[in-house]
Amino acid sequence: MKQFRSNVIRAGLGALYFTGAHHLLRPIFSGVGAIFMLHHVCPPRDAEFQPNRHLEVAPEFLRAMLAHLRSRGIDIITIDELHQRMVERNFSRRFACFTLDDGYRDNRDFALPVMREFDAPLTVYVTSDFAEGTGRLWWIALEMAIARADMIDAKIGGAATRLDASTPAAKQAAFDRLHDRLRVLPGEHDVRREIAALCARYGVDETTISRDLCMSWDELKAFADDPLVSIGAHSVTHCNLAKQSEEIASQEMAASRARIEAALQRPVLHLAYPYGDRHAAGPREFALARAIGFKTAVTTRPGMLFPGSAGYLTALPRISLNGNYQDTRILSVLTSGAATAMWNRFRRVDAA
């Protein structure tokens, strides 16, 4: 299903590009600005099995995006400036904001140098347990376990199931099946238990993953001193907030902010919801983020910003720079807003 949807999106983007339809749609759907969403920025790897590749874009692709925006005279601004322009309804110039989730070390090593070439600011949303070195990046642990095994024994729907993992294609299918199953488990503890069992069975040490991939507090402190860098919050444990009690969801948001503020000695006023789709962040989370005092909060719902978005500053949509679509021909399609307008069935503000 995921592959099917992915192919449909790819075909849709291609069709928009080749028909030039996005140029016709631009005046109607381009909106006033966009928030781009990235995770890893790093050189491409050779491995055939890369199930998390959609989370990685190459520095060259980021560079092409920035050059494209600059060539079109679009301002690249901080998330604070975005907040100000939205509140003041200052839409005299189109703008873009670059945001990166989770707090990966490659943001410092590969994204920041490219952003610096364009004097362009970026916001990194930090998961406080990842910076602490105690976080669990279960999607990476799952990839590592499947990469090592030729056959995966796992429980699916309570039944012991054996999945082929002998070829890159079989590994991808096994990953998709287990990933989808883990995403719908009722609690964070269920995900942790299943991943811990898989890691134990296939000899993966998941406790080192956050330290291997994410910036520590010391590293973040130096990183945050760069004038181009803003730091936002991305929860304590990277849980699905919508599946938590109101008390826990609120605590995840507030405690991550307090932890980051204490470590970096600066105010943290912006939030990104973990996972961030409509199953992970809805009206309850939008209200909680507002009550806790965040000036903005971003989702992973696709969309451009419109003047009406100013009324929903804790439910802002983003445009994903997805590692599976690193074709520079789609840059103008993405910035036209036509692709996300199709996705949203031409509804402009989606905060329900």
CA separation, residue 187 to residues 34, 178, 190, 278, 301 (Å): 33, 16, 5, 17, 22
Q: Is 101 in the site for Zn ion (CB under 5 A)?
A: yes
Q: Is the CB of 59 or the CB of 232 nearer to Zn ion?
A: 232
Q: How far is the CB of 130 from Zn ion (least distance, A)?
A: 9
Burial category of 12 from C-beta neighbours within 10 Å (exposed 0-12, middle 13-18, buried 19 and up): middle
Q: Is the CB of 230 or the CB of 336 nearer to Zn ion?
A: 230
Contact pattern for Zn ion over residues 178 through 207, marking x by CB under 5 A: ------------------------------
- Which residues, 6+ apart, have CB-to-CB distance to 317 below 8 Å? 35, 298, 299, 301, 302, 303, 304, 305, 309, 340, 350
- Rounded CA-CA distance 98/318 in Å is 10
Q: Is the dihedral of CA 282, 288, 291, 295 positive or negative?
A: negative
Site residues for Zn ion, 145-164, by CB under 5 A, read none
Residues near Zn ion (CB under 5 A), total: 3
Phi and psi dihedrals of 165, rounded to 5? -140, 35
Q: How far is the CB of 3 from Zn ion (least distance, A)?
A: 22
Q: How far is the CB of 15 from Zn ion (least distance, A)?
A: 30
Q: Is the CB of 33 or the CB of 276 nearer to Zn ion?
A: 276
Q: Is the CB of 54 or the CB of 148 nearer to Zn ion?
A: 54
Q: How far is the CB of 338 from Zn ion (least distance, A)?
A: 27
- Amino acid of residue 67: A
- Stretch near Zn ion under the rule CB under 5 A, chosen from 19-27, 157-165, 173-181, 269-277: 269-277
- Rounded CA-CA distance 231/239 in Å is 19
Member of 25, 77, 99, 102 binding Zn ion (CB under 5 A) = 102
Q: Tell me which H or E stretch contains 155.
A: strand 151-156
- Stretch near Zn ion under the rule CB under 5 A, chosen from 258-266, 273-281, 309-317, 331-339: 273-281
93 CB neighbour count, 10 Å cutoff: 12
Q: Is the CB of 32 or the CB of 195 nearer to Zn ion?
A: 195
- Amino acid of residue 238: H
Q: How far is the CB of 238 from Zn ion (least distance, A)?
A: 6
Q: Is the CB of 132 or the CB of 327 nearer to Zn ion?
A: 132
Binding site for Zn ion (CB under 5 A): 101-102, 274
